[in-house]
Structure 1
Amino acid sequence: MTQAIIFDMDGTLFQTDKILEVSLDDVFSRLRSLNKWNTDTPIDQYRKILGVPLPKVWEKLLPQHSDEERAKVDAYFLERLIENIRSGKGALYPNVKEVFRYLKENNYSIYIASNGLTDYLNTIVSYYHLDRWVTETFSIQQIQSLNKSDLVHRIVKKYGITTGAVVGDRLSDINAAKDNGLVSIGCNFDFALEDELSQADVVIDDLIDLQSIIHVLNE
């Protein structure tokens, strides 16, 4: 029996808000300099849809721009995110490393399944040395449907996972767990919404809570 814990990244392991605003402002400052945007950076609008795959983000934030312009914005945003991570402006949530260490010591396999892009995720994993515990990191870029449930299914199939949980802060994480026969653990963190968390099997306020509940999740 393979037991696994599959974690979301943004708003679950990584405090995205610490680099989100500055990176997004970099993007829209550039657009303003090119006369392709003339109002404030839509940070509040982005916060409401955080966790949505980036192609859909730009459709929402830049509805009047062409697909080609959105692709350029997407590439520049990724550059700024990575640079801000590498310069130390981001942070993990409290107790990430402690919980990962505990899970590995108790024979759980750890995976990351995120709507973030591959290079962005790999930068976080590398910068914080999470690869000491994480078996593999999966990006929504690997799934044509851009559906989190399909991404989690790929992990389940590849590693023969029979029991475990998906830990995340948004409804897509909760649904991904349920669609794959896993326990859903909702994180009541920065970007979580109460009506979404109410659909999770378990809700935690700190990752350290996993240590006290993990052994009874599959009973």
Structure 2
Amino acid sequence: MMIKTIVCDMDGTLFSSENMVGEAYARAVRAFNREFSRRMRIPTTEVIMREIGRPVEEILKIIFPQLKDSERAFIRTLSRKYLVDLIKEDKGLVYPSVKETIAILKQMGYNLKLASNGGTAYINAILDHYHLSPIFGPFIPLNNENLKDKGDVLNLHKSILGLMADEMVMVGDRLQDAQAAEKAGCRFIGVTYGHGTIRELKSAVKIIRSFHELPNAIVTLEKETIVKV
């Protein structure tokens, strides 16, 4: 069965926040310390990046286990605001060849969608600033109800687009992306240039080292499927 829709993760696949996430959290923690008269230590970029790919609430519980939910909510709100500000200041990075490769995939007739644990304001800021909104369409965020993880988002994409599982493929860099593909019953293509490790990609049917390799990986995957049939 031919692939019709390619669903991409954002952080570590299309975009990297590594150059700015440390600054966003630093600003948020400094504001928290002023507001609550605390001396909480600012997490390093390395500590934050280890958790990128998880839902934001989960990241904050790991990095700030000592805080109350209301205190973590304060940091979440401010860190998202500062991330959006930094995106608008062009401090983030769209990976090399992403825009060119997306254009090629569209010309080849593939539908492109997103599945991300990022917040709506954050993802929309990336889509708007880098002019990607017309390509991926409206972002579907997690809501802790019927959309609790990326797997639920993939299943919703399948339902909306009327797809069989084999007609969709997930592309990402972390274990959460692989798990999402498994939950939706679709195939997973792993990328090695993102924030994850090669061990997280062990269930991938294809592994690419640069986003520009994706069209060939998709075509090869389709040919292999035809041969099996």
Normalised TM-score (structure 2): 0.89
Shift of 1:169: 0.4
> Which residues of structure 1 form unaligned runs of 5+?
none
Which whole-Å CA distance do the structure 1 matches of 2:136 and 2:147 have between them? 24
Which whole-Å CA distance do the structure 1 matches of 2:137 and 2:221 have between them? 21
Equivalent residue number for residue 26 of structure 2: 25
Amino acid at match of 2:183: D
Shift of 1:28: 1.9
Shift of 1:118: 0.7
Q: Stretches of 4+ moved more than 6 A in 1?
A: none
Equivalent residue number for residue 77 of structure 1: 79
Which whole-Å CA distance do the structure 1 matches of 2:60 and 2:144 have between them? 19
Shift of 1:3: 0.6
Which whole-Å CA distance do the structure 2 matches of 1:96 and 1:18 have between them? 18
Aligned residue among 192, 197, 201 for 1:188: 192
Q: What is the number of equivalent residue pairs in this alignment?
A: 219
Shift of 1:190: 3.5
Which whole-Å CA distance do the structure 2 matches of 1:135 and 1:40 have between them? 36
> Which residues of structure 2 form unaligned runs of 5+?
none
CA RMSD of aligned residues (A): 1.8
Equivalent residue number for residue 140 of structure 1: 142
Which whole-Å CA distance do the structure 2 matches of 1:37 and 1:152 have between them? 41
Deviations 1:57-86 (A, max 9, x none): 111122121111111111101100000001
Local SS of the residue matching 1:33 = helix
Which whole-Å CA distance do the structure 2 matches of 1:39 and 1:157 have between them? 44
Which whole-Å CA distance do the structure 2 matches of 1:16 and 1:62 have between them? 20
Matched-pair identity in %: 28
Which whole-Å CA distance do the structure 1 matches of 2:93 and 2:9 have between them? 15
Q: Check conservation: 1:117, 1:141, Cα contact below 8 A.
A: no
Normalised TM-score (structure 1): 0.92
Equivalent residue number for residue 15 of structure 2: 14
Amino acid at match of 2:219: H
Which whole-Å CA distance do the structure 2 matches of 1:37 and 1:198 have between them? 41
